A and B are shown apart, each in its own frame.
Chain A
Amino acid sequence: MNQLQVILLLWIIAVTSFGHSIDSYIKQKPPHDKRISDAEFLRRTFIVITGRLPQPTFAESFLKSENPSKRAQLIDSLLASEGCNAMLTMRWGDMLRIKSEFPSKLWPNGVQAYNRWLHEHIAENTPYHQMVRELLLSQGSNFRQPAVNFYRAFPKRTPAIIYNNINLLFLGSRSTRGDGSTCFAQLNYKNTKEWKEEIVFIDTHVPIFNSSIRINDSTNIKLNAGTDWRIPYVNWLTNNNTQFAAVMANRIWYWIMGKGIVDEPDDWRDDNPPSNESLLNALTTHFIKNGYNVKALMREILNSDIYQSAAGTPGGFVSQRLLAEVVVDAIADITGISDQYISRVPEPFTFYPLGTPAIELGDATVSSPVLELFGRASRDISFENQHNIQLTAQQLLYLMNSSELENKIRQSPVLNGLCKTYKNQVQLLQQITLLTLSRMPTAKEREIYKTYANLNKQSLRNFATDIVWTQINSIEFLYNH
């Protein structure tokens, strides 16, 4: 694309998108009665943005509030929250396969530095193209220049494998086009005297065989001897590259809605076209126009009518099983009893502070049987579908009849506290429902639980255990709707 074409394209995009919100691109406008309730909005949005449930007191006051702009305000405060940064850091960590050991072998110091680097950029909301530039043009020590861990997270560090991964991550392509791998042929690695420190550097003495590199069918870039060949590639990738922006815009849509406009979000092919091209173009334009601002695009999507419509609305939110980390953290938040996470690399083992949420582990080498059971991202590959959200009988078996979970509910200090404060069944049911499902119990539910309590004479505390067991086992709990 020459400069004139770029200007023309940007102009067309600017004119066509002016004044429209995302909703005008939705083919079938969602009927008003599909608009979700405040309670549904609250839970859905907390889980989408932060991967956590709201505090019950917060849920109660949000539901009571009559402020007409409370949804927009909640979106803004959640996007600015630490919870959002933690969730996005985890999503990036999954894509970049951050792991101490096999197969990424970043080692704990590298993992920590890399996570901190990501977290800083996410908290500052660094423009996406700048963050990718910094990532791909990094060199230096894995401890001191954390972005270089990008080039270390490969069991086999060949230019072709690295280039394939860049194609997948930033251009959404599972197959590699062009000869761009040459741009990464100068990467080299050396150890230092510090344990597990590694320097990633550019060896400019690598001989040049072909100075003109075909990136795709219409683009060639020129490499000069003695310079870093990644620079012309990264310039091409991140400067006015619509595909680059569209892939991320679509990924953000996928993170929020549960289904990409191009789906899967890392499988862009000619024979896998977007389900709604004008919507994709509008999102891409919004993303570019706002300086590759990730959180601004999230805000735009979250405020749309289509996001705030019932799950299953055409083109809208897709109901899905909670991510493994979200299930585990929700159980920890509800019961007040967290799992102890241990890093076995290196010896002696490192114990994470008790109460560390699973979404903040930052290292797929650190795990637990329950996280594995619910299909936590392995970080072996960079595909979004590595999060296995498929429901299995074994997962329900765990929720139904695990002694571990039963003990957590029975011993829960949170439930002990509630039973002390709320002495009658009605109040207790309301508090527990706010805790686990972030809403008030319905009249029908009150009746069902009342009948159950009358049939099963037991202490209030045991009744609390049964309510929590039932709610944790409900479809409503295990899915984001």
Chain B
Amino acid sequence: MILGHYINSKGLAVLALISSMSVQAQTAKSVILIYLDGGPAQTDTFDPKPDAGRDYFGLYKDAIETNVPGTFIGAKLPLLASIADKYTLIRSMTHGINAHESAHYAMITGDLSGGPVVYPSFGAVINFEKQHSYSGILPPYISLTSANSRFNEGGFLGNNYKSFDTGGSPEKGKFEVEGIINTWVKPQKLADRMALLDQINSCSPVKADSAIQLLFDNYHRKNMNFITGDAKNIFDLSTESKAMRDKYGMNRLGQSCLVARKLVQAGVPFVNVRTTGWDTHKMHFQRMNEMLPELDRALWALLTDLDEKGLLDSTIVLCGGEFGRTPKVLWEAPWNGGRSHFGKAFSYLVAGGGLMPGKILGRTDATGEEILDRKVYPCDLIGTVYTLMGIDPNGTLPHPSEGTLPLLPSLGKKDQSNGLLYELINTQKSTEK
């Protein structure tokens, strides 16, 4: 830090801050990513522009003041407005990419280097980094209800670190988690079948390799423990009161957030709640009328619930998409009031895990088309998450053929990074602990 004061070169100052942060103590145990797949409109949510005119605010003229005086958010988010002291809004996210796959890749790997290597998602990296210290019964990285498969999120770490997709529908009567909860097959039936399978495997005319046989036996035992053990109870929403379920909203997103809270309670290090339908080129406002209240309720419920249960301090919550949407409404045909992809300036809501709440980081201009200060690149956000999770953002990862590679290849590079979010790290608090 001291070095930073004496050096004018911005790059070096950033480097000094990065190195001072890498000694930051771990404050977070888990991450919940609420991923608004398709790209949500930042100007209709976390960065409203009520003075920009109808060509910009479209059908959402109003913004509402939050419980943090002077902070306004979109009028469709009244519940979130009531708890703005629990989260911080980053209004200056940027990577400049307007294609879904490349933007998604940049947003969840932090890699803007354009190199030939495909990086793993930050969920996969956290899975990799926590594989030895995490000892819970559930997989360390879980997606509700499925991960975005637009690129291979295992990257060069390989398949083993990808997320476990639950499948199923948590908003239905029974949440059928693929492989764990199967209402069609009663426990006795499964046991009968397993016994049959054992006999069949051992008398097959095709002699299996003994190593494969051993692997099957081990995995079958492990899976049976998994299916019959406590794992299914963690996903069982009937253990929650109706009031609690209603608080989150009886829809896919709401109930997924409730499951996410239960998973975090069980110690799962990374939960990805993916909600689709945000790619609103057409019928934008009609769809937002339906989707924003669900988002508002789910996110409000999650943050207050985590807080009441004392989990918010150790759980990082992130909410955003692969990019934002054009601040200017496309009134013309065929869009008829839609918004297109916008990677230049968009917003993320961040909370918990040691991040300072009640702040606004970064600022866009009057129409939301330009960032005026504090650009935040994907690797800055992800690097901050790593730091809070006790992972050195300047560390390395093993590549199967290229030796070791930097965990975040863009970190500290011009136009790919603007420094970790030291403004949001509550050092005071972490030293007290």
Contacts and interface: CB of A to CB of B under 8 A. Distances in A.
Nearest to A158: B116
A182 interface: no
A476 B196 contact: no
Contacts of A154: 116
Contacts of B101: 101-102, 105, 345, 365
B149 A401 contact: no
A139 to B, nearest CB: 23
Contacts of A471: 200
Contact of A378 (B118, B165, B183): B118
B423 to A, nearest CB: 31
B70 interface: no
B162 to A, nearest CB: 7
Interface stretch (A236-244, A292-300, A404-412): A404-412
23 contacts: A103-B151, A105-B102, A310-B207, A344-B100, A368-B149, A369-B147, A372-B149, A381-B118, A392-B219, A396-B219, A397-B179, A401-B180, A401-B182, A401-B223, A402-B178, A403-B167, A403-B176, A403-B178, A445-B203, A448-B200, A448-B203, A469-B193, A475-B204
B3 interface: no
Interface string A469-481: 1110111100101
A305 B227 CA distance: 45
B212 A400 contact: no
Interface in B166-215: 167-168, 176, 178-185, 190, 192-194, 196-197, 199-201, 203-209, 212-213, 215
A404 B178 contact: yes
Contacts of A442: 203, 205
A347 B149 CA distance: 16
A355 interface: no
A200 to B, nearest CB: 18
Contacts of B219: 391-393, 396-397
A456 interface: yes
Interface in A150-198: 154-156, 161, 174
Interface of B: 99-102, 104-105, 114-116, 118, 139, 146-147, 149-152, 154-156, 158-160, 162, 164-165, 167-168, 176, 178-185, 190, 192-194, 196-197, 199-201, 203-209, 212-213, 215-216, 218-220, 222-223, 226-227, 279, 281, 401
A125 B202 CA distance: 43
Nearest to B37: A344
Contact of B182 (A39, A383, A391, A406): A406
A373 B143 CA distance: 13
A174 B403 CA distance: 13
B354 to A, nearest CB: 32
B357 to A, nearest CB: 34
A339 interface: no
A470 B99 contact: no
